[in-house]
Chains A and B, each alone.
Chain A
Amino acid sequence: MSFITRTAVFALLALLAAGPGKAAETSSNVPATLDRIMTALRSTRHVQARYIEHRYLHALRTPIETRGALHFDAPDHLEKASDPDSRGSAERLTIDGDRLTIDRGGNAPPIVLSLHEHPEIGVLVDSIRMTLSGDEAALRQNFDVTASGTVGEWQLALQPRGNQTLLQWMRISGFGARITAIDSQDTEGDRSDMSIVEQSR
C-alpha cells in the first residue's frame, strides 16, 4: 500500500499547515485542540517544502532514505518530487482530484491510479483533503483523532476507522500552522518517518 502516497500527502498537508500562524505563535503555550490546529491549517493555500524520509521495511535490513521537494496548491493538487538518486533517476508523485500519477521518468509510462478504485488510498487522500480544508467533522468521521501538546508544539494522532485501509496509524507533528514531521506505520508493519522543512508559501 502506498504509505508513500500517504506520507507525501501528509507532508503536503504539513506544508499547508505551514500557513500564516501568527496567532498561534503569539500564544504558543496554549493547549492544542483539534479545532485550534484545524483553524490554523485552513488558512494555507500554497506550500513549498523539502523533506527527508526514512522507510523501515520488514523486507530490508536497513532503512531507505529519500529526499525531495513537496508542493501543494489548494484545493486538491499535491506533488512529491524526489531528488535524483545515485543512478540519476528521480520520480514525481502527483495527486489531482481522483487521479494519482507516478511518473518515474525514462521510457516507462507513468502509473496512473484512480483513488476510487483504491479506497485504501482514497480514504487517506480524502481525509487529508478534509484536514486541509479544515473539515473537522469529516476527519473525525474517518479517523479517531487525538490532539496533544500545545499550539506551539502540537501532535495529531490518527487511527483509521474503516477496514479499507492499509494505514495502521499516523502521527503528525507541527507548530502553529506548520507541519514538521509525519510518522506512520502500515498494516504490514512497515514504518515511515518524514521530516519536513518549509521553504515558502
Chain B
Amino acid sequence: MNPRLVAILVWLTVVVASCLCITRLHIDTDMAAFLPRAASPAQRVLVDQFRDGIVSRLVLIAIEGAPDKRTTAISKRLAERLRGNEDFVTIENGDKSGFDRDRDFLWSNRYLLSDQIDPARFTQAGLRAALERDLADLGSAAGFLVKRTLADDPTGEMLHLIGQLRGGDDGPARTDGVWVSPDGQRALMLVRLRAAGSDIDGAQRALETIRSAFDAVTSDTADRAARLVLTGPPVFAVAARDRIKSDATRLSVLASGLVAGALLAVYRSPRLLALAFVPVISGALVGIAAVGLVFRTVHGITLGFGATLIGEAVDYAVYLFTQTAPDSLVEPTLRRIWPTLRLGVLTSIFGFSAMLLSSFEGFAQLGLFTITGLAVAVCVTRWVLPVLIPAGFAGVRQSRTMMRLGTIASGGWRLRLGVLVLTAVAATSLAFGKGPFWAADLTSLSPVPAAEQQLDQSLRRDMRAPDAAHLVVIRGAEQEAVLRTAERMTALLGPLVQQGALAGFDSPSRYLPSVAAQHARQAALPDAAALRTDLDAALQDLPFQPGLFAPFVDAVGKARSGPIVSRAALNGTSLSLRLDSLLSHRSDGWVAILSLRGVTAPGAIAAAIAGAQDAVLVDLKAESDRLLGVYLQEGVSLASFGAMAIFLLLAVSLRSVRRLLSVTAPLAASVVVTLAVLRLGGNPLSIFNLFGMLLVVAIGSNYCLFLDRQRGDPAGLPRVLASLLLANGCTVAGFGVLALSQTPVLHDLGMPVAVGTLMSLMFATIIMSPAHPSTPSNATSS
C-alpha cells in the first residue's frame, strides 16, 4: 500500500478513536487533584478533611450593612427559612431552639454516656461525696443549675455531660440571642451542607438556595441595604470551579486567536494557517484521550492549560513551513530538519516526563497529556502534513525582515559579555534576595484569591471558630475498636487538660460510647436495694428531705437493665452530626477523630498517646506545611531529574562537549535570569514556578538545537531565525495569556514560561552568533 495513504489512514483512525474516547470523558474540577497522593496517615487525614471532612461542608454566613437590630432580625428570618431544607444538615445562628432534643437524649442516657460512672461512684463514700457537693452547690449562686435535677441526678452526670458539650466556651458574641461579630456590625450564621466537599454541584445548589432565601427575607425596603457574605470551603470550591471554567475557555480562545493572528500575518494564507493547527489539534485530541484512559477523568486545568502548552506543537509546523525556501520542496526540508526536530521533541518529552512522576495527580495528567500530544504532533508533522500540503506549495519567501533579522543576529556575539553580566547579576540577586525563597504556606497553592482568604479568616475570628489544628486520629477495622481506643485516649487526655497541655477536646465516644464501656457502666450501677441502703447511710446528718432521691433510685434501676445507646438513638439530634464528623466509615475501615482545642504542649500529648498503635496525633498546620515541604522537595528533585535527563540526551546526541555547552549555556542563563525576574520584589517562588522552569528548558532547548545545527550554514540562518522567532512569539502569546489568570496554577506557570523562552531565544542567538571570529565553522549534521 502507498505509505502516504497508510499515514493518512493511521492518523484518521487514531484521531477518530480519540474523539470517541473524549465524548465519554468525565471532566473534573476538584482542586484536590493538585494536592499530592498523600503518603502518611496524617497526610491522608489532611487531604480527606480537605475533600469531604466536616470542615469542607461548612459555610459561614455574615449579614451586614443593615442597622444592627435589623441584621439580627434578618438572621432569624433567614435561619427560619433555611431550616428544613434538605440541602442543609444544620443551620445555626446562635439561638438554642434545637437544643431540646439533645438535652432529652443526654438526660435519658446519662448513666450510659457519662465517663464518670464507675462502681466507686455508687458506694456509700462516693454518694456521700456527691451529696456534700450538691449541698455546697445549692448554697451557691449557681444553685439554680443544680436544683431542678437534684432529685433525679444527685451525682451530677447531666451537668458533667452538658459541660463537656459546651467545652467551657460560650461561642460567639450574641445580640437578641443571635450570633454577631464582636463589634456588633455583622450577624453570623454557620451552615453545614449535606453535599460533601467534592460535590461541587451540590454545593452550588445549596449556595443558590441561601442567596435566594436571603433575597426573599430582605424584600422589605428597610432591609435593602443588607448584604449577604458567604465564605468557607464550599464557597471557595464553587468559585474556583467557575474561575477555572472561565479561565480555561477564555484563555484558550485568546491564546489560539493570538497564535492564529501571528501565523496569518506571516504566512498570509488561511490554508497554511489551518494546516499549522493540524498537528496541534491531533496531538491535543490524542493527549486528552490518553489522560482519560489512564486517569479515568481529565481535570479542567489539564484541558485549559494543556491546550496552551501543546501550543509548542504549532512550532513544528512553523519550523517546517518557514524553513522551506520557495524554490525547494517540503519533503527535502522535512528530511533536513527532522533530526533536529526529533531531538527537540525528545528533549521536551524527557523534560516533561518528570511531571509524569509527580504525586500531584494534576501534574501527572499534564505530563502525560503533553508527552502524548507532542509525540503525536511531531509524527503528524513528519508523515501527515506532507501529504496534506497542496502540490503547488512554495515555501515562505525570504523577506527583507528575515535578512534584517540575520544581520542583527550575526552581530549578537557582541552582547555575549552582556549576557554574562546579566546572568551574574541575576545569580547574585537570587543568592542575596530578600524574603523567603519558597512560598512556605500551603495556601500559596490554594486556588482561593488572597482577599477571599482574608475575609474567611476575619469571619472565623468573629465566630471564634475553634481552629481544629490538632487531631488525634484513630483507625481500625470495626466501629467498636476505634470507639474503645477513643475512650482510652479520652482517659489519657483528661489529666493533660488539668495540666494545661490543652484546653479541651471532643471525642466521638462522648456521644456514642463503645458497647464495652456501656456494659461496664451498666455493671457499675447497683441494684435498687443496695443503692437505697448506701444512699440512706450517705444521707446521715445531711439536711436533705427524706425520700427526696426516690427518682434517682428509679433512674439508676432503668439504666441498669435498659437498652444501650446505639447510633440510631442519636437520630434527630444535633449530636448526631457531631458524631458523624468524628466517626466515619471509609473504604479501608473506621476512623475516629478526637479534635483538640487550645493545644499548648503538643509534645506532652504525643508522648502520652505514643503507646497506642492505632492512634496518631496530627498537627494539621505542621502537617500541611510538611506536605508543602514534600511537594517542594519533590518538585526540586523532579525538575533536577528532568534537567539531568535533557542534559544526558543532548550529550549523547551532540557528542561534543563544546556543542553541548553552547546549547545548554543559554538555557542555564535564561533559567537564572527568569528566576531572578520572578523573585523581584521579594516574591517567594511557588512550586508551579518550578515546573514552569522545566518547560522553559524543554522549549528553549529546541531553539538552541536549531541554532546549533545552523552554524555550518550561515546563509540559511535568517530563515531559521525567522521560524524560531515566530514559534517563540506563539509560545509567549500562549503562556503570556496564562499569566493573566487568577488561578495560581495557571498564573505561576504562564509567567515564567513566557519570560524564560524569550530569554532562551535571545541568549541562544547571542551565544551561538556565528560571526564571532573565535567560532569555527565546524558544525556537522549529527
B220 part of interface (Cβ distance < 8 Å) = no
B32-40, B140-148, B736-744 - interface stretch: B140-148
Interchain CB contact under 8 A, A3 and B548: no
B218: min CB distance to chain A, Å: 23
Q: A58-B545, A85-B136 are in contact. Are A80 and B141 (CB under 8 A)?
A: yes
Interchain CB contact under 8 A, B136 and A59: no
Interchain CB contact under 8 A, A109 and B138: no
B102: min CB distance to chain A, Å: 15
What B residues does A93 contact at CB under 8 A?
Answer: 141
Minimum CB distance partner of B99 in chain A: A117
Interface of A is mostly: loop
A191: min CB distance to chain B, Å: 13
Q: How far is the CA of A166 from the CA of B143 in the complex (A)?
A: 13
B250: min CB distance to chain A, Å: 50
Q: How far is the CA of A61 from the CA of B140 in the complex (A)?
A: 17
Residue-by-residue, is B120-149 near A (CB-CB < 8 Å gives 1, otherwise 0)?
000000000000000110111111110110
A69 part of interface (Cβ distance < 8 Å) = no
Interface residue from B135, B141, B168, B548 paired with A102 (Cβ < 8 Å): B141
B554 part of interface (Cβ distance < 8 Å) = no
Give the size of the chain A interface in residues (CB under 8 angstroms).
35
A60: min CB distance to chain B, Å: 5
B107-115, B170-178, B355-363, B633-641 - interface stretch: B170-178
Interface residue from B143, B170, B176 paired with A4 (Cβ < 8 Å): B143
Number of A-B contacts (CB under 8 A): 76
Minimum CB distance partner of B151 in chain A: A59
What A residues does B168 contact at CB under 8 A?
Answer: 109
B504: min CB distance to chain A, Å: 9
Interchain CB contact under 8 A, B498 and A5: no
B157: min CB distance to chain A, Å: 17
B543 part of interface (Cβ distance < 8 Å) = yes
Minimum CB distance partner of B546 in chain A: A61
Interface residue from B142, B174, B498, B543 paired with A61 (Cβ < 8 Å): B543
A136 part of interface (Cβ distance < 8 Å) = no
B712: min CB distance to chain A, Å: 85
What B residues does A80 contact at CB under 8 A?
Answer: 141
Q: A3-B144, A61-B545 are in contact. Are A114 and B174 (CB under 8 A)?
A: yes
B437 part of interface (Cβ distance < 8 Å) = no
**Extra 4 A-B pairs, beta carbons < 8 Å, given A1-B144, A80-B141, A112-B170:** A2-B143, A61-B544, A66-B139, A98-B174
B586 part of interface (Cβ distance < 8 Å) = no
Interchain CB contact under 8 A, B140 and A55: no
Interchain CB contact under 8 A, B142 and A104: yes
A23 part of interface (Cβ distance < 8 Å) = no
B96 part of interface (Cβ distance < 8 Å) = yes
Q: List 27 A-B contacts (CB under 8 A).
A: A1-B144, A2-B141, A3-B144, A4-B140, A4-B141, A5-B141, A8-B141, A59-B138, A59-B147, A59-B150, A59-B545, A64-B138, A64-B139, A66-B139, A80-B141, A85-B136, A89-B136, A91-B140, A91-B141, A98-B174, A102-B141, A109-B168, A116-B176, A117-B96, A117-B174, A188-B148, A190-B147
Q: How far is the CA of A114 from the CA of B142 in the complex (A)?
A: 14
Interchain CB contact under 8 A, B141 and A57: no
Q: A59-B548, A85-B136, A104-B140 are in contact. Are A117 and B151 (CB under 8 A)?
A: no
A180: min CB distance to chain B, Å: 21
A163 part of interface (Cβ distance < 8 Å) = no
- A2, A59, A60, A190 pick with most chain B CB within 10 angstroms: A59
What B residues does A61 contact at CB under 8 A?
Answer: 543-545
Residue-by-residue, is A91-103 near B (CB-CB < 8 Å gives 1, otherwise 0)?
1010000100010
